[in-house]
Amino acid sequence: MKVAIQGERGSYSHQAALELIPKAEILACSRAVEVFDAVESGAVGCAVLPVENTLAGSVGEHLDLLMERNVFVQQEHRLRIGHNLIAAPGVKIKDLKRVLSHPVALDQCRKFFQKHPGIEAAVFYDTAGGVKHVMAGKLTDTAAIAGKQAADEYGGRVLQAGLEDMKENFTRFFRFVREKRVLSSADKTSIVFSLTNVPGALFKALSVFSLRDLDLSKIESRPVRGKPWEYMFYADILSAEEKVLDRALRHLAEVADFVKVIGAYPRAR
């Protein structure tokens, strides 16, 4: 199956995609919108994107696109993230003036930059892309933060492993497709909804789940672009039981302005 990811080969998304679909043919995209375009056009069978990290939080752009686009989440996957400082062979840490990586990865390695104040944390579009750039340019004063697989992919050398601030560093990935199809083992549902800003609106919305003993494992708000101080609410429900959820969502639609089911899938263990 052809699978779209955001980032280069050797990235964490590449690793997650191969763990979910071991024989996947990877289509590497530079931007998230290109990933969604590939799925909606049928150019790929599915896509794999990160949506949340235990240290850096949610990936807002990807949540917004899941709300906006016509796709359906079919699986989730948790990947242990181990960051590595990767440079060209022969380069040492004392030679470095800057380190490239995706902003989320840089945010997970704050202690490294506190320990090395002379090294600039430079934002790059992708973790593995940073390694690719360093190696292609034969840079001797620049390294990248990425997974070990990126070093293997592009011939870099790991100068230091375990750069992440905490070892309990996991990223949650979604696998999504164009057509809605719920796997038989699904036991988790993700939705997004909006409310009119009146007293008690959120309480009424959440009560539709409480009344039916549905467990919400997560709820968070995201700003509505173009509408200052208005918000969408994203929620994960630990159930995919169709009849109970249908009743809850119909009830939610009575108090909400907008409701969309993003996906139903087996929860990652």
Residues noted as catalytic = 171, 173
Alpha-helix runs per DSSP H in the chain: 12-20, 32-41, 60-68, 103-107, 110-115, 127-136, 148-154, 201-210, 242-255
Strands (E), 129-237: 142-146, 157-161, 170-177, 188-194, 216-223, 231-237
Query: How far, in Å, CA of 85 to CA of 228, rounded?
Result: 40
189 Rama class: left (phi>0) / alpha (psi -120 to 50) / beta: beta
Task: Render 29-65 in DSSP notation, one character per residue.
Answer: ESSHHHHHHHHHHTSSSEEEEEEEETTTEE-HHHHHH
Question: What radius of gyration do the chain's Cα atoms show?
Answer: 20
191 touches 262 (CB < 8 A): yes
Query: How far, in Å, CA of 264 to CA of 11, rounded?
Result: 26
Among candidate residues 159, 167, 75, 171, the one with its CA nearest the CA of residue 119: 159
